Amino acid sequence: MNIRVRNYHIDSYGHVNHARYLEFLEEARWTFLDQRGLLSLLDNVHLVVARIDIRYRRPAVDGNELRVHSHIKELTARHLLLTQTIELIHSGKNTIEADITLMPVDAASGRSIRFPDNLLTSLESFIA
């Protein structure tokens, strides 16, 4: 997924605010699931962020073109570890590197569950 940095993404220091990156990553996760036809398999299952580990490498500024890469790094019956990077398209260098742990939660009860078999099988086919 590509993103063009706009002036409203910029903080008073002149670069993309750290909290904006969370929004970029979330949009890319939904795009990742949508492009792979996985959204329809989330019936009654919420994917909840359980942990985020972000390493900020270099700033992005107004007008930069960014590319978000998302890859499944690890998958168990109870969690999914997604690695996401955001790179500056002009240099190919990463602005951030993140590991996001997602857990399946039953939409009705709000309790953590195992991935339904059909979703787990589909996710397994996309492991990097």
From 11, 34, 43, 106, the catalytic residue = 11
Closest CA to 86 of 59, 62, 52, 63: 59
CA 102 vs CA 12, 33, 57, 82: distances in Å: 32, 13, 23, 8
Instruction: Compute the distance between CA of residue 75 and CA of residue 115 in angstroms, rounded to an integer.
Output: 10
Whether 99 sits among the annotated catalytic residues: the reply is no
Query: CA 122, CA 124: separation in Å to the nearest integer?
Result: 5
Active site members: 11
